[in-house]
Structure 1
Amino acid sequence: MARPVTETRPLYTRVTDAIVADLERGVRPWTKPWASGAGGPVGRPLRHSGEPYRGINVLLLWAEAFERGYAAPTWMTFRQALALGGHVRKGEHGATVVYANRIVREDPDAPAGDDGLRSIPFLKAYTVFNVGQIDSLPAVYAPAPALAVSAERRIAAVEAFVASTGAAVRHGGDRAYYAPGPDYVQMPKLAAFPELEDYYATLLHELTHWTGHASRLDREFGAPRTGDNRYAREELVAELGAAFLCADLGVSLRPREDHASYLAGWLKVMKADHRSIFAAAAHAQRACDLLSGVATAEP
């Protein structure tokens, strides 16, 4: 009998390779849920406590839900399911999520006058299951039909959110961009967009760029020319930030044709640095936190 193959690639590499494979097929994994035919906007995945996942874990669980057809947003570990009186069905395979933290160790090579301590980041993987894979959970975890919220209410909520950021937003012309020098977002007029929600998804993308200003999050890898790796990194942060914000605000996100030109740059960055998608997701989460007015925390 053949022995099971043990996965020996580092976690960063496994995750990045999966995302690269999608991008090479022309698919952006963070827009998969909206293109899956489920209908309507998709929210963030949730922990068993109802707390939303953050950062790279949002991408990992969106991709898993799309591939396996899970409609419920909630995920939990095997032990959490048992503690709730449920049990994972035999033969079910879980999804990988990650936990990032730091450990502090003594540094024998620290220079004189230093405290002699070194902070070392680490990443730990663990497995979660969708509630659709688990039997006998309390009724509160049963998938419920999404409550219909009118487009008018959702758009009003997005407008209020944008106003709360304090960002200067100008309208006119045929391009959407963030101008870092004068520090404003430029948007075409609403009528220039095929759908109302395309306008707001684009605006949220540009607002993510706005957070990178030196007076805010001070992201340093932005660059003015398209062929620069730093430019690709910043565009990836804005792409993910828009995806997270659309999920939070109930805006449907559709793939944008103009972003197809960024694919080559994203692939180059990810292949050169297997940690880059993790960093981009963390930057995007911090941008969402700043725009939402909440304290920044690790994803």
Structure 2
Amino acid sequence: MKTNDIYENITSNIISMLDNHIKSEFKGCWLNISMGNVFAKNIVSKHVYRGVNQFILAEFVKEYNYKLNNWLTFSQISNLNGKIKKGSKSAFVVFSSKLYFDLITNKNITKIINEMLEINEKVNFDKINVVPYLKYYNVFNVEQVENLPDEYYKTKEIEKLSEPERIIKAEQIIENSEVEIYFRPQNDAFYDFENDKIVIPERKQFYNSDLFYVTCFHEMAHWTSHPKRLKRNISFVQGSKEYAFEELVAELTSAFVCATLGIEKHITENVSYIQSWLKIMNDDKRFVVSAASKAQEAADYIIAFCKPDLKKLEKYAELEI
């Protein structure tokens, strides 16, 4: 599959998910990226898939009604003497890679540069042309494979956190990040880039704690764009393609963080946002993959602040939301 075909395939799936969500009048959770609080992972390497791969595999699980969210490559199946069931269709996961070329000679020096990077040797990229591209490989759900070790077929759900436990983790993130949050009796939430602060409605205005944190993590996603943090460019005009991109990054970031904490994340019901995403996705097949990559980076940054301290249970559990 060529790189452009990979982007086309992923984008068409995401467009379908968004279209279906609009048709359902926003019922349910469009980003159900974890099952039983378990993210899609490779059952052999224990690697948890990242970025847009979570959406690809979640949609595959939903389509075929699988109970498990564990995956294997063809070579792993062979090494385990497993047998793929007749008629099984593989899913695919993607990862980014780079080619390196000498700017003067145009010689492919990828192998040399990778070896230098592997031993942390300094590389002068001023004289190198870097060409990013997507690679993919096929994976199979464990339910598509016979003769695997018994433990691979066992459902290992992580017990869902109670509301007080979710509050502990969420508040730890907010507190440890030292993000400035100003509560105002209003209906809008936004990130003030110039003053590097988040302005959000008062806690009591939210129907429940989950909705508060969904909103908070969306705005914290914008907060990560600051030059002091992940340095995303958000100097754009409202309504532009760049604006739509940043809003999608924030939505996906909130989805990743909330899924990690066991909070159900519903996509925004702002139809203008969704329609702008759909229009851009039809014109730019790399849009959603790039947004998911940036969102994963932002989510990692935010989740890193989660250092649960059970001694603070009472403090956080008493918050009225």
Q: How has the CA–CA distance of structure 1 residues 146 and 167 changed in structure 2, closer, same or farther, with 3 Å as cutoff?
A: same
1:252 Cα shift?
1.4
Which residue matches 2:317? none
Aligned residue in 2 for 1:15 = 10
User: Which TM-score applies when normalising by structure 2?
Assistant: 0.78
2:3 and 2:135 in contact (8 A); partners too: no
Determine the structure 1 residue equivalent to 2:178: 166
Contact 1:222 1:234 in 2 (8 A): no
Matched, 1:96 2:108: no
Q: Deviations over 1:74-103 (max 9, x none)?
A: 111122123234332221111111121112
Is the counterpart of residue 132 in structure 1 residue 143 in structure 2? Answer: yes
| Deviations, residues 7-60 of structure 1 (Å, cap 9, x unaligned) | 9962111211222233234459x9435499x7xx74421122222111121221
Q: What is the aligned-residue RMSD (CA, Å)?
A: 2.9
Stretches of structure 2 that go unaligned for 5 or more consecutive residues are 107-123, 306-321
Deviations 1:82-130 (A, max 9, x none): 32343322211111111211122233467xx987532221211211111
Match of 1:44 in 2: 39
Task: Give the counterpart letter for 2:86 in structure 1.
Answer: K
Aligned to 2:274: 263
Aligned residue for 1:10, secondary structure, equals helix
Q: Which amino acid in structure 2 is aligned with residue 161 of structure 1?
A: I
Amino acid at match of 1:56: V
Q: Which amino acid aligns with 2:30?
A: K
- Relative distance call for 1:115 and 1:105 in structure 2 (3 A) is same
Q: 1:105 to 1:35 in 2, by over 3 A?
A: closer
Instruction: Tell me the distance in 2 between the aligned counterparts of 1:83 and 1:222.
Output: 51
Q: Partner letter of residue 156 of structure 2? A: A
Q: 1:222/1:143 Cα in 2 relative to 1: closer, same or farther (>3 Å)? A: farther
Corresponding residue number in structure 2 for 1:206: 219
Which letter maps to 1:234? E
Task: Decide which of 159, 181, 192 is 1:179's aligned counterpart.
Answer: 192
**Could you tell me the TM-score, scaled by structure 1's length?**
0.83
Match of 2:30 in 1: 32
Give secondary structure in 2 for the equivalent of 1:147: coil
On the 8 A contact 2:249/2:291 being kept in 1, the answer is yes
The answer to whether structure 1 residue 143 and structure 2 residue 155 are counterparts is: yes
Q: What is the aligned-residue identity percentage?
A: 32
